[in-house]
Amino acid sequence: MPLCLRCGDELDGISRRSMAPSSSSSGATGRKGSAHRCHGCKKNLEVNSTMLVALKKAYHRACFKCYKCNSLLEGNRFVPVNDKPACNACALDKIAEKCSACKQTIAGTVIVALQKNWHPECFLCVSCQKPIANYGKVYRRGNNPCCPQCVEAVFNSRYTPPPTEKKINAKQVISSFENLLMSQPGIDFFLKFLVRDYSVENLLFWMDVQQFKNLSTAHDMQIYSGSIINKYIGQDSELEINIDEATRSALLANQRTPHVAMFDQAVGAILVLMRETSWPRFLISTECKNLVDFLNTPAPPPPSSSSSSSSSGSFPFDDAKGSSSSSSSSSSASSLDSSAGAAQGSSWNRSRKKISMRDLSSFSDNKSTTSSTPSSSS
């Protein structure tokens, strides 16, 4: 029985027929000079013999073979290849796609992403090696797929909003999208939500641009403007943002003459996009509830003088209670849990060259560790 190589469904199969004499006066079956020939050996099919009919062609039983390896196909499944019968192994080797990861042929479901083919079980994040669940939107690192938890920002330290004169309470933080972006806890819980929502590139772009505006030298602006464009704007960018073509073209054309306000139009479009799409969904999310619980939880008392000097303050997360928990080391980085906003924080890891989303999930509340120093390379 022939099979479709893509979906595995059965095609029209082999039928056995008895070759009977014909009363026709022109090329009658069984007569000398008959037009009924075996498609394999090209010899006449004998009268009263059993023939096989497959792919609209007739064969002797011993002539119905794989066109490549010559194995007999009667009673076996076969795959049509260029209108020729082939065994499954030869068909797969001839026409099936190869998995970009394991280099083996793909006989079943094929995932097409980043202009490559993958087995579903081989379609893993290049960083954490966990399966990528969302085939419709794939982030990448280099030429490899990357999950939203492991994507990297341009700068090697996370953005910290300017301090406010008065402390903003939980009700004020979630009262407007602008207030959310003025709060460090607000940004971090919103970031957790965007990881789960597969739209993390929007906030990372906004954060990188805020740090870009703090650069003091033309040399740094030249380097990091190019890095931001390559990361979010350019063709085949790793974290491409959704902006109109005119804005994109203007940035690509003017990247050789960077200035502080060069990204303002793109940032404005992304802020509108987050406010209109992500913000309403965030307000009804578990991450928003955890943010309110965290902000409403009294701060823990400062450590006593007898506490170990090696432990540093952290900005902890507890799934539903918002209770605090200290990190074991100031350089440890905790994994960002994208399921329902449950995460555990630890001190900010400054040893990495670039920020990844896993790093952004762990940070210190010690103000001396939250500077916006750019990385040395894009």
As a whole number of angstroms, the distance between CA 344 and CA 66 comes to 59
DSSP string for 233-245: ISTT-TT-----H
3-class secondary structure, 321: coil
**Average pLDDT of span 20-26:** 38
**Which are the contacts of 132, defined by CB distance < 8 A and separation ≥ 6?**
123, 124, 125, 138, 145, 147
Buried/exposed 251-267: b ≥16 CB within 10 Å, e otherwise: beeebeebeeebbeebb
Q: pLDDT: is 174 or 136 the higher one?
A: 174
Look at residue 215 in the predicted model and tell me its pLDDT.
Answer: 92
User: What is the band of 18 on the pLDDT scale with cuts at 50, 70, 90?
Assistant: low
Amino acid of residue 284: I
Counting Cβ atoms within 10 Å, is residue 173 exposed (0-12), middle (13-18) or buried (19+)?
A: buried
C-alpha to C-alpha distance for 218 and 224, rounded to whole angstroms: 10
Q: Average pLDDT, whole number, for the chain?
A: 74
CA distances from 334 to 57, 188, 346, 364 (A): 64, 14, 6, 12
What is the reported pLDDT for 35?
52
Query: Among the listed ranges 110-119, 122-131, 325-334, 350-359, which one has the minimum average pLDDT value?
Result: 325-334
Q: 37, exposed or middle or buried, with CB in 10 Å at 0-12, 13-18, 19+? A: middle
Q: Which residues of 207-228 are buried (b: 16+ CB within 10 A; e: fewer)?
A: bbbbbbeebeeeeebebbbbbb
d(Cα 43, Cα 36) in Å, to the nearest integer?
8
Write phi, then psi, for 51 (nearest 5 degrees). Answer: -120, 160
- The angle formed by the CA atoms of residues 27, 31 and 33, to the nearest 5 degrees, is 60
Which residue's structure tokens are 């902000």? Answer: 295
Q: Mention every residue, 6+ apart, whose C-beta is less than 8 A from residue 312.
A: 327, 330, 347, 364, 366, 369
Please tell me the pTM assigned to this model: 0.59
pLDDT digits (tens, 9 = 90+) for 119-156: 888 989 988 999 888 887 888 888 888 888 888 889 98
- Mean pLDDT lowest for which of 190-194, 240-244, 341-345? 341-345
pLDDT of residue 9: 52
Phi and psi (nearest 5°) for 215?
A: -70, 145
- Mark out the alpha helices in 57-199 (DSSP H runs): 88-95, 170-173, 177-181, 184-197
Closest CA to 124 of 149, 141, 147: 147
Q: What is the pLDDT of residue 333?
A: 34
| 75 pLDDT more than 80 | no
> d(Cα 169, Cα 160) in Å, to the nearest integer?
18
